[in-house]
Amino acid sequence: MTPRRAGEAGFTLLELMISLGLFALIAVAGLALVDSVIGVDGRTEARLDRVADLQRAMVVISSDLDQIAPGPMGGDAAGVRFRRSAPGLGGPAIGVGYRIAGGQLLRVVDGRAQLVLDRVTAARWRYFDGGWLDNWPPAPDRSLDWPRAVVVELQVGGPGGGNLRRIVTLPIPARTT
């Protein structure tokens, strides 16, 4: 056996245990950070999906109103109905309407309901004709007239929800004399 020289002493068991404990704390903190980042990523993705749904709904509504076709238009604060140009080239105009049922904004096309947006807690439609009206037409003899603009106000729940408002100006209808 060789005698131990000064300065060659190793770690004691206590020092080794303390260093392992510190390493374990650093590892746990790192894992907690990774878990937090993954959680934030999941919540952000859910919000972005919801925002995409909201934008898609507003585009569908705007597109339908931009394609309004000659014919009667009617509505109240709860929904609207009108005729729009057929998709594609030519073809007869189709009936379109919007309403809320069971927390969903539905688009009704020729009697068939299509889901536009879910988790809708309230909706209000208004019609501009020199002032904002809750019902259209304002008089029975104006059933073929259109308002100058339509506004939809949606109150939506879920991530990325809140209050949405879209104003769509309508074209001036052609008058037949």
Say what the pLDDT of residue 2 is: 62
What sign has the CA pseudo-torsion 77, 123, 147, 72?
negative
Token readout for 70 is 């000659």
Give pLDDT tens digits for 20-35. 999 999 999 988 888 8
> Residues 135, 81: contact at Cβ < 8 Å?
no
Q: Is residue 2 part of a domain?
A: no
Tens-digit pLDDT profile for residues 155-167:
998 766 789 999 9
Residue 8 pLDDT grade (very low, low, confident, very high; cuts 50, 70, 90): low
| Dist. CA 66–CA 87, nearest whole Å | 12
For the segment 68-117, what is each residue's pLDDT rounded down to a tens digit? 999 899 999 999 999 999 877 678 899 999 999 999 999 999 889 999 99
At 177 the pLDDT is: 47
Q: Which domain holds residue 87?
A: 36-169
Q: How many folded domains does the chain comprise? A: 1
69 belongs to a structural domain: yes
The answer as to whether 9 is a domain residue is no
In a domain, 3, yes or no: no
* Residue 132 lies inside a defined structural domain of this protein: yes
